Amino acid sequence: MVDSTAGLVLRGVTKRFPGVVALDAVDFEVRPGEIHALVGGNGAGKSTLMAVASGALAPDAGTIEIAGEPMRQISPIAAREQGLAIAFQHPALLPDLTVTENLLLSVPKRLRPSFGDAQDWARERLLPMGMDIDPAAVAGRLTLAEKQALEICGALACEPSVLILDEPTEPFMVAEIDRLFEQVRKAAAGGMAVVYISHRLPDVMALADRLTVLRDGQIRGTFLASEVTEEEIITRIAGREIDALFPPRPDSVGDVVMEVRDLRSDRLRGITTTLARNEVLGLAGVEGNGQREFIRALGGADPVTGGGVTVAGRPVELGSPRRARRAGVVLMPQERHVEGVATVLSVKENLGVAATNQTASAGVVKGSAENALVAEEIRQLGIKVASPDSAVEHLSGGNQQKVVLGRSLLSDPKVLLCDEPTQGIDVGVRSDIYHRLRSTAESGTPVVVLSSDNVELAGLCDRVLVFSRGRVVRELTGDEISEHAITEASLTAATSAQSEEAAGPARRTGPLDRFRRLLSSEQAPSLFLAAAIVLLALVSATRSDRFLSEFNIASMLGLAAPVLFLAAGQLIVMLTGGIDLSVGPLSGTLVVIASFYLLDGYGAGWWIIGLLLMFLAAAAVGLGNGMMVRYARVTPVVATLVTYTALQGLSLVMRDSPGGSISSTITEALGARIGPIPYAVIVGAAVLIGLEVMSRRSMMGLRLRGAGSSEHAARNRGIPVARVHLAVYVASALLTMLGALLLMAQIGVGDPTAGVSYTMASITAVVLGGASIFGGRGSFIGVLFGVVLLQVIQNTTVFLGLSQAWQYWMLGLMALAATAIYSQVRAKRA
Amino acid sequence: MSRRTTSPPAKRAGPGGLIDLRRLRAGRFSSIWLITLLLFAASPLISPGSLSGSAVLSMLPFAAVMAIAALGQTLVVAHGGIDLSVPGGMALAAVLATKLPAASGVPVWAAVGLALVVGALGGLIIGFAVVRLSIAAFVASLAVNSILIGVVLQVSSGFPASAGAALSAFAVGSVAGIPNLLLVAVVVVGLAHWIIRHTVLGRRFIAVGAGRPAARLLGLPTGSYEMGAYVAAGICYSLAGVLLAGYLRTPDILLGNTYLLPTIAAVVLGGSLLSGGITNLAATAVAALFLTQLDQVVLAAGASTATQLLVQAAVLALSVVARGVPWSAVRARLTTRAPDPASTLPSR
């Protein structure tokens, strides 16, 4: 049956994760020209299998062949070069880059067009999905459906011989799904081997040539779509073995405690239900159908837009966990590492902080009471831990989960909400948790359990709500509850709700839209800065006609020149989400070095040696910063603060007071100007414009911005993130050296403290230019205007007769205002 | 996403059930005590006389000031932030406490109180910017530092003033041979340490620092705690600035500049985690003592202030690199890949 001539062939693939065997000797084969669907429940191993097939995960055993050749290297890039393309369920896009730029990074090198043709090329690549996506739009601003379309078009643009689509239809409307199917059929007809992964059985039955069912990491059969019924497939998807022991159910669940009336949010279309005193209520459904939003909304963790909840007759305020807890509703969240516990803290600290109402009096925690309570909780939950003072991060997943549960129980809940209470933990612990949840319900605190494991829901719950597209499509009670029934309800209800959803308003790219985009683009700050410069210049010019004199303009620009280069370096670092505090002292140190060599009476040979030493010193500092940040995982602020201080020390060691006059030949050459404009400023502006072009129209620039935009997505697209991070600090240091040469020409002597203040100036200029401190966004043109504005401000304070304090105030206030405004604007658009 | 694949690999779980000292946190914080003891033991060898009674008595007040400033930094770092406004905060408090009484006859206690309030205000601005406007901590604190320095220049007109008699008498005074500043530091640090360790407020403060999303789900007002950290830090810098001004009598108007790096170094040396959550205020104070004595020894050995800066940078670099390199991963790579019974076998 296995045909190794072409397509995708996996043989004997096994992958283990701690506690589970995710894939167990899987053989899977897709022929060219075939649409092969891979189906299975939540956690069956579909995504793991495809991660292995696409080189993102190394299998523990087994072989992978793409287009008849064994996979050369386990990496997504190598797989792509071999002709495999994958569109992920959650698109791994670079949010700060444009649609075109994302597409460019998606395809193998040989298919990349030149930058001049990129826009047209991208428009063509976007045609298959037929959506009106603007190639120049920023990817982070697309709708979910547009992102998914972009991801699929990116995979198609690779012209692959194997195409993998992982749950591609989730955000799509009916028309778009039809369009997708048409494209998939066309691709297969052209000889492509297509793997189509989906939960939605009706879709799969309509599209696929063959189906393979995966359950618990094992293949449960491969079928021709024409020879199998939906029912037969469901039977194979369900039917998981029951491995954990479930507690018995009670005969009666008691009176109603909680009432939910027409609860609505972005993803919920009106949920109404009740919860009885001794009940365990299950929430089921294919991932992403509103069940998680529902349980989180009840716990106050996600926002709601309508409807109401009462507990024991009293309305519950939703909207924040704090408020929900006031009514006794406690949520045990899914992501235990993020929301469940503080993993760096100890078991005792994690449990103790939830129980202060029992252990503290007058705000002081009684140590003995706390120790006793924590010890009791550890014993009751059966947490295996060497000492209560062990950090939670050192526990196994199951024990961590017990701590999360303990924290929720110690909060004394009236209603307990559990989002995936047994995710990723082994059988024995699961059983412990089931019994604890049941006993909680029996003691009068109802429990809501959301689980992607239908066996678990069938074994544990008194009632199960099945979600689809933000609604409850089936309510199962008593004997109706079985894994098969839940699976069937989840899988077959899938498409029924679709037609109701109206298509979003069509988005056009008219002139008004283009103007709006300009306002929110990365170049918009330049417009505001230019306006501010003109305004300030007008004010000063009216106060004194000397302001616009050639001499004043020349001296202003001359002072600004070094900052142009330092700020350029600063922005390069900031584009990756870093910061370089050392630029100021580095420029000072380099001037001091120069002051020993670049002197009158020394020959050109010494000058060259001096310049070489400056270059080496700068490169060494950049490399040091980069290595500390990248390899020793020191935060950029601290790493560059170390070099900041060391460089200050170094320059004071070399010269404890200003000395060593730089050769006037050099200073005059560097200070030369054409009219009022120094050549240095022209060069600086050219460098900034060049960097701006580079950052948008070269692969190097895309990699730089991509690495800062999203490290995870960047890795997926084959960007060497570590090397980029190292390179930016070196680039910053080398640009600082250029700035240092101009600083040297300005002050003329080796002054060990001259450079220090330039750090703040460079950072302010960069943030004024609209760069995001968190990386990915920034404009070198903005930096140009930012530097000039800073200089104009400084000059204006002089002309207006303001004290020196104003310069500091302006600097501080501008930095605060710029970052605040830009971050608010960005938050609104997101 | 498959639920199996989302389960993260169990982290560094050693053999289960055994007492494993590496998992306990005490080692993080105790190393600074040991290093400090070693430094004091070695001091006479590096420069004779650096451990004499008078040398130690003249060092302790500076250590006290640094400990108080570093306490502020520790509170901010406990929430994963960083505060670069130390120089501005200290300088402004020093100027207010000296200049106001000298220039306009404001009573010293009122000037000191005002200095503390202004420090709190500076911290509030940073905290608000960080929490409500989502500005990165270093930019917000750097900007506020610039504003504070501006106020220093405005208030002082560029010239320092002398501390009032009462303030400087207190600052240079001692009780039973123990410098007053040391007593203040011990009380302030001790109180803060006790609050963090033994009160509900402190426990929650740490819980927020260790993970905001988890603290939010616990129902804690995370924003208030985080802003509170910056406010408390601002007060600490002000207190340090006032005390230093009193001790120096005529303080330089920018006296805080040399304190920024050492406060961060003290936090790191003290064993606090820069990403927040793990913190020990007493250990930070010991680290401040260590750094001050190190400065003293370097100076006594005849080195310049420039060398002092280099030594400071080297100490901070060593400590962050030592803590930052993923040693456990390195160790794991060196040892054989034995299957881990605690995480791969179902427990019965």
Q: Which of B17, B308, B320 sits opposite A634 (nearest CB)?
A: B320
Burial call A230-249: b when 16+ CB within 10 Å, e when fewer? eeebbebbbebeeebebbeb
Rounded to whole angstroms, the Cα distance separating B44 from B106 reads: 46
At A214, give phi and psi (nearest 5°): -115, 135
Residue of B nearest to A57 (CA): B5
Q: Which of B24, B151, B309 sits opposite A390 (nearest CB)?
A: B24
Is residue A662 domain-shared with residue A792, that is, in the same domain? Answer: yes
Rounded to whole angstroms, the Cα distance separating A49 from A43 reads: 11
Higher pLDDT, A784 or A288: A784
Per-residue pLDDT at B336 exceeds 50: no
Name every chain A residue with its beta carbon within 8 A of the beta carbon of B340. Answer: 18
What is the helix (H) or strand (E) element at residue A157, kind and residue range?
Answer: helix A144-157
Q: What is the nearest CA distance from B34 to chain A, expressed in angstroms?
A: 22
Residue after which a domain boundary falls, among A220, A237, A254: A237
Rounded to whole angstroms, the Cα distance separating A406 from A401 reads: 8
Q: How high is the pLDDT of residue B72?
A: 97
Q: Which of A48, A365, A579 sits opposite B4 (nearest CB)?
A: A48
For A821, residues 6+ apart whose C-beta sits below 8 A from its C-beta are none
Query: How many distinct structural domains can be found in chain A?
Result: 4
Q: Is the four-CA dihedral B77, B81, B82, B85 of positive or negative sign?
A: negative
At B159, give phi and psi (nearest 5°): -120, 140
Is residue A396 domain-shared with residue A433, that is, in the same domain? Answer: no
Rounded to whole angstroms, the Cα distance separating A528 from A530 reads: 5
Which residues share a beta bridge with A189? none
Per-residue pLDDT at B4 exceeds 70: no
Q: How far is CA B305 from the centre of its chain?
A: 22
Residue of B nearest to A301 (CA): B217
* Nearest to A83, CA basis, from A10, A194, A160: A160
Q: If phi over 0 gives left and psi between -120 and 50 gives alpha, with beta otherwise, what is residue B260? A: alpha
- Pairwise CB contact (< 8 Å): A424 & B8: yes
Q: What is the nearest CA distance from A812 to chain B, expressed in angstroms?
A: 4
Interchain contact B198–A (C-beta under 8 A): yes
Q: What percent of chain A is predicted at pLDDT more than 90?
A: 43
Is residue A323 domain-shared with residue A355, that is, in the same domain? Answer: no
Rounded to whole angstroms, the Cα distance separating A632 from A637 reads: 13
The residue extents of the domains of chain B are 50-323
* Nearest to A443, CA basis, from A707, A197, A257, A643: A257
Convert the pLDDT of each residue in A48-81 to its tens digit.
898 899 888 889 999 999 988 888 888 888 888 8
B 14-43 → A contacts, CB under 8 A: 14, 16-20, 23-25
- Pairwise CB contact (< 8 Å): B211 & A338: yes
Whether residue A298 lies inside any domain: the answer is yes
Is residue A483 domain-shared with residue A606, that is, in the same domain? Answer: no
Mean pLDDT, residues B171-182: 92
User: 3-class SS at A582?
Assistant: coil
Is residue A19 domain-shared with residue A115, that is, in the same domain? Answer: yes
Tokens representing A368 are: 């003995």
User: 3-class SS at A481?
Assistant: coil
Per-residue pLDDT at A505 exceeds 90: no
Convert the pLDDT of each residue in B134-154 to its tens digit.
888 988 998 999 999 999 999
User: How far apart, in Å, are the Cα atoms of B283 and each of B15, B266, B314?
Assistant: 30, 8, 20
Rounded to whole angstroms, the Cα distance separating A213 from A219 reads: 6
Name every chain A residue with its beta carbon within 8 A of the beta carbon of B159. Answer: none
Say how many residues make up chain A.
830
Name every chain B residue with its beta carbon within 8 A of the beta carbon of A356. Answer: 200, 203-204
User: 3-class SS at A464?
Assistant: strand
Whether residue A515 lies inside any domain: the answer is no
A732, A579 contact by CB (below 8 A): no
Is residue A366 domain-shared with residue A454, that is, in the same domain? Answer: no
Residue after which a domain boundary falls, among A177, A208, A237: A237
**DSSP H stretches of helix in A443-477:** 454-460
Q: How high is the pLDDT of residue B45?
A: 87
Alpha-carbon torsion angle B132, B138, B140, B145, nearest 10: 150
Q: What percent of chain A is predicted at pLDDT more than 70?
A: 94
By mean pLDDT, which of A114-118, A121-125, A167-171 is the weakest? A167-171
Query: Is residue A103 very low, low, confident or very high in pLDDT (cuts 50, 70, 90)?
Result: very high
Query: Is residue B13 very low, low, confident or very high in pLDDT (cuts 50, 70, 90)?
Result: very low
User: 3-class SS at B8?
Assistant: coil
Per-residue pLDDT at B22 exceeds 50: no
Per-residue pLDDT at B191 exceeds 90: yes
Convert the pLDDT of each residue in B294-319 to its tens digit.
988 888 888 888 888 898 889 888 88
Per-residue pLDDT at A490 exceeds 90: no
- Pairwise CB contact (< 8 Å): A386 & B221: no
Q: Is the four-CA dihedral B247, B251, B253, B254 of positive or negative sign?
A: negative
* Nearest to A770, CA basis, from A820, A695, A812: A820
- Chain B contact probe: residue of A383, A396, A627, A777 with most B CBs at under 10 A: A396
Rounded to whole angstroms, the Cα distance separating B66 from B284 reads: 10
- CATH of residue A84's domain is 3.40.50.300
Whether residue A566 lies inside any domain: the answer is yes
The secondary structure of A498-561 as a DSSP string is GGGSPPPPP----HHHHHHHHHTSTTHHHHHHHHHHHHHHHHHHHH-TTTTSHHHHHHHHHHHH
Highest mean pLDDT among A65-79, A94-108, A513-527: A94-108
Alpha-carbon torsion angle A37, A40, A43, A45, nearest 10: -50
Query: Is residue A644 very low, low, confident or very high in pLDDT (cuts 50, 70, 90)?
Result: very high
Could you say which DSSP state residue A199 is in? S
List the Cα angle B94/B284/B40 in 5-degree steps: 100
Q: What is the nearest CA distance from B106 to chain A, expressed in angstroms?
A: 23
User: How far apart, in Å, are the Cα atoms of A678 and each of A560, A745, A790?
Assistant: 10, 12, 18
Higher pLDDT, B272 or A517: B272
Mean pLDDT, residues B207-235: 94
Is residue A423 domain-shared with residue A407, that is, in the same domain? Answer: no
Convert the pLDDT of each residue in A408-440 to its tens digit.
999 889 999 999 888 767 777 788 889 999 999
Is residue A88 domain-shared with residue A218, that is, in the same domain? Answer: yes
Q: What percent of chain B is predicted at pLDDT more than 90?
A: 49
Interchain contact B13–A (C-beta under 8 A): yes
Query: Is residue A386 very low, low, confident or very high in pLDDT (cuts 50, 70, 90)?
Result: confident
Q: How far is CA A498 from the centre of its chain?
A: 29
Convert the pLDDT of each residue in B37-64 to its tens digit.
999 998 888 888 878 888 889 899 999 9
Q: Which of A17, A632, A774 sits opposite B4 (nearest CB)?
A: A17
* Nearest to A788, CA basis, from A696, A684, A694: A684
Q: What is the nearest CA distance from A276 to chain B, expressed in angstroms?
A: 24
Whether residue A443 lies inside any domain: the answer is yes
**DSSP H stretches of helix in chain B:** 3-6, 26-46, 53-77, 86-104, 108-131, 137-156, 165-172, 180-198, 200-210, 212-217, 222-248, 260-269, 281-300, 305-324, 327-334, 341-344
Rounded to whole angstroms, the Cα distance separating A511 from B340 reads: 62
Q: How high is the pLDDT of residue B337?
A: 42
- Pairwise CB contact (< 8 Å): B129 & A820: yes
**DSSP H stretches of helix in A342-464:** 347-352, 356-359, 367-381, 397-410, 427-442, 454-460
Per-residue pLDDT at B127 exceeds 90: yes
User: How far apart, in Å, are the Cα atoms of B234 and each of A419, B84, B89, B209, B251?
Assistant: 40, 11, 7, 18, 19
First to last CA, chain B: 29
B285, B71 contact by CB (below 8 A): yes
Residue of A nearest to B154 (CA): A805
User: How far apart, in Å, are the Cα atoms of B249 and each of A644, B60, B61, B94?
Assistant: 30, 17, 13, 10
The secondary structure of A58-102 as a DSSP string is --SEEEEEETTEE-SSSSHHHHHHTTEEEE-SS----TTSBHHHH
Rounded to whole angstroms, the Cα distance separating A367 from A383 reads: 21
Name every chain B residue with its beta carbon within 8 A of the beta carbon of A214. Answer: none
Rounded to whole angstroms, the Cα distance separating A791 from A557 reads: 8
Interchain contact B319–A (C-beta under 8 A): no
Q: If phi over 0 gives left and psi between -120 and 50 gives alpha, with beta otherwise, what is residue A666? A: alpha
How many CB atoms neighbour CB A62 within 10 A? 17
Sole residue written with tokens 């303990």: A406
Q: How high is the pLDDT of residue A322?
A: 92
Q: How far is CA A443 from the centre of its chain?
A: 42
Rounded to whole angstroms, the Cα distance separating B133 from B140 reads: 10
Is residue A448 domain-shared with residue A566, that is, in the same domain? Answer: no
Rounded to whole angstroms, the Cα distance separating B269 from B321 reads: 11
Query: Is residue A240 very low, low, confident or very high in pLDDT (cuts 50, 70, 90)?
Result: low
Higher pLDDT, A694 or A718: A694
- Work out the mean pLDDT of chain B and round it to a whole number: 84
Burial call A796-814: b when 16+ CB within 10 Å, e when fewer? bbebeeeebbbbbbbbbbb
Is residue A738 domain-shared with residue A648, that is, in the same domain? Answer: yes
Q: How high is the pLDDT of residue A501?
A: 43
Per-residue pLDDT at A241 exceeds 70: no
Tokens representing B271 are: 């064993």
HSE at residue A35, side-chain half, CA atoms within 13 A, is 24
- CATH of residue A743's domain is 1.10.3470
* Nearest to A771, CA basis, from A758, A754, A786: A786
What is B50-323's CATH number, 1.10.287, 1.10.443, 1.10.3470, 1.20.1050? 1.10.3470
Query: Is residue A390 very low, low, confident or very high in pLDDT (cuts 50, 70, 90)?
Result: confident
Mean pLDDT, residues A455-480: 91
User: 3-class SS at A688?
Assistant: helix
Name every chain B residue with its beta carbon within 8 A of the beta carbon of A44. Answer: 2
The secondary structure of B158-174 as a DSSP string is T---PPPHHHHHHHH-E
Sole residue written with tokens 């097939």: A53
Longest CA span, chain A: 103
Domain limits for position A346: 342-412
Convert the pLDDT of each residue in A593-639 to its tens digit.
999 998 888 888 899 999 999 999 999 999 999 999 988 888 898 89
Helix axes B180-198, B165-172, angle to 10 degrees: 80
- Pairwise CB contact (< 8 Å): B217 & A321: yes
Interchain contact B146–A (C-beta under 8 A): yes
Is residue A101 domain-shared with residue A27, that is, in the same domain? Answer: yes
- Pairwise CB contact (< 8 Å): A43 & B321: no
Could you say which DSSP state residue A635 is in? -
Q: What is the nearest CA distance from A636 to chain B, expressed in angstroms?
A: 11
B 278-297 → A contacts, CB under 8 A: 278
Per-residue pLDDT at B23 exceeds 70: no
What is the helix (H) or strand (E) element at residue A106, kind and residue range?
Answer: helix A99-106
Q: Count A/B contacts: CB-CB distance under 8 Å.
A: 313
Q: For residue B197, with 0-12 CB atoms within 10 Å meaning exposed, 13-18 middle and 19 or more buried, which class applies?
A: middle
Per-residue pLDDT at B292 exceeds 50: yes
Q: What is the nearest CA distance from B166 to chain A, expressed in angstroms?
A: 30
